[in-house]
Amino acid sequence: MPVEVRLPTVLRSAAGGSSSVTAEGATIGEVLQNLIAAFPAMAGQVLTEDGTLHRFVNVYVNDDDVRYLEQLDTKVAEGDTVSILPAVAGG
Amino acid sequence: MALLRSVLDLIGNTPMVEVSELSPNPQVRIVIKLEGQNPGGSVKDRIALAMVEEAEKDGRLAPGDTLIEPSSGNTGIGLALVARVKGYHLKVVLPSNVSVERRQLLEVWGAEIIESPGSEGSNGAVRMANRIHQEHPEWVYLYQYANRANPTAHYEGTGPEIWRDCPEVTHFVAGLGTSGTLLGVGRFLKERNPDVQVWAVEPPAGEMVDGLRNLDDGYIPPIFTDLRGADLLDRKTMIGPRESIEWTRRLAEAGVFAGISSGAAMAGAARCASSVERGVVVIVAADGGWKYLSTGAWTDDLDVVVERAKRTIYF
């Protein structure tokens, strides 16, 4: 199932400048792996070498951070939007 | 009302008011804690006072000393107030793209502003302050993102106040800036009632902050990691600028004049209310609307204001 993946500015150059791409997958883990397969320059930026979510990356399905859902096992369905955002502070 | 000795005694003990008329679910009440009632105008007065008093107690801070702190505004303003009253000098590393009123308030209380690149957001301000502190170890660096007095101020103040005024709370929703409010209040409320759910609200700030070179420029406050924030939070939800402004306006229609991050928290509360059957959602309104009048948030065309908000740091 293809879903829309919105990319942060820092990852756009790895995707030919696109701010949004599509990727296949039934879970967030699958979507991110397919994303990296399509855009190898993102390797190491989104997932770590051992396949976990990069510490400074927040991934949202629609508006929910997947770390507080099922992490990489969080299911995605057609029509969902996945957003990748860098961790930023406030205060 | 008692007659107080110092303006600093006005910090904390803020009022809570019901805004359930804005709840999308008639079975869910929404209660808002008005941190704009603090004398420096935001929730950050609490941590400013707590961090300064802690540093005074352990001897790190002595009369006449200079403080340096990175802040997108409110912590700086709170520290400027405390520093002015107690006689310290303050230098605030402030991203260039905050509202003009934040800058003006720092000037009111005599803080020196060191500008950091707006495109790097708060992360850039933190990096610059770290660097300056290395060059000037004689300046006292309270470092709100790693200072335990930050969450402790909420564990000992904000949390107990909420429990005292609204023990029927089922959900607590607040913005995730330094994470101090969520860590302190969240832990306190869960100790009293383990069923309380803690929701964080975050703006998609990463979209606006395009000066990050790569994802390793990301930043997680050390207190969030040290105090196992990821285990405490039940959910984290992203609220964009449009929703934030829309809910800031709805709050004003209900008579509550609050800042844009309060609109984001309110949007989170509405989302929370829609997702549960019944309950009482408590949110923190971090500041009042005064510092955002120049953004036209209430009066200008919504599309124009949303575009403006995308370039402004309001958390």
Which structural domains are found in chain B, ordered by start?
Answer: 7-37+157-310 (3.40.50.1100), 44-141 (3.40.50.1100)
Above 70 in pLDDT, residue B208? no
Give the residue extent of every domain in chain A: 2-86
pLDDT tens-place string over residues B90-113: 999 999 989 899 999 999 999 999
Q: Output the pLDDT for position B92.
A: 98
Return the structure tokens found at B265.
């928290």
Could you tell me which residues are beta bridge partners of residue B199? B173, B235
Q: How confident is the model at residue A1 (pLDDT cuts 50, 70, 90)?
A: confident
Nearest to A89 among B74, B123, B214 (CB): B123
ipTM over 0.90: yes
Above 60 in pLDDT, residue B290? yes
The stretch A56-81 carries a mean pLDDT of 95
A57 touches chain B (CB under 8 A): yes
Q: How confident is the model at residue B2 (pLDDT cuts 50, 70, 90)?
A: confident
Residues 6+ apart with CB under 8 A from A2: A22, A23, A24, A78
Q: Output the pLDDT for position B310.
A: 83
Q: Cβ of B220 and A54 within 8 Å?
A: no
Q: How confident is the model at residue B228 (pLDDT cuts 50, 70, 90)?
A: very high
The stretch B132-140 carries a mean pLDDT of 98
Return the structure tokens found at A85.
């955002």
What is residue A50's DSSP assignment?
T
Q: How confident is the model at residue B218 (pLDDT cuts 50, 70, 90)?
A: confident
Q: Output the pLDDT for position B313.
A: 81
Q: Å from A69 to nearest chain B CA?
A: 7
Handedness of CA B162, B262, B222, B125 (dihedral sign): negative
The stretch B178-202 carries a mean pLDDT of 97
Could you tell me which residues are beta bridge partners of residue B282? B31, B172
- Picking from A12, A83, A88 by the largest number of B CB atoms within 10 A of its own CB, the best residue to mutate is A88
Q: Cβ of B212 and A86 within 8 Å?
A: yes
A11 touches chain B (CB under 8 A): yes
Handedness of CA B314, B102, B111, B13 (dihedral sign): negative
Q: Whole-angstrom Cα distance, residue A25 to residue B4?
A: 62
CATH topology of domain A2-86: Ubiquitin-like (UB roll) (3.10.20)
Q: Name chain B contacts of A91, Cβ cutoff 8 Å.
A: 44, 71-72, 74-75, 122, 144-145, 177-178, 180, 315
Q: Name chain A contacts of B270, Cβ cutoff 8 Å.
A: none
Q: What are the start-end ranges of the H helices in B194-301?
A: 205-208, 222-226, 229-232, 241-253, 260-275
Residues of B annotated as catalytic (active site), given as ranges: 44, 261
Q: Cβ of B238 and A60 within 8 Å?
A: yes
Q: Name chain B contacts of A10, Cβ cutoff 8 Å.
A: 210, 212-215, 217
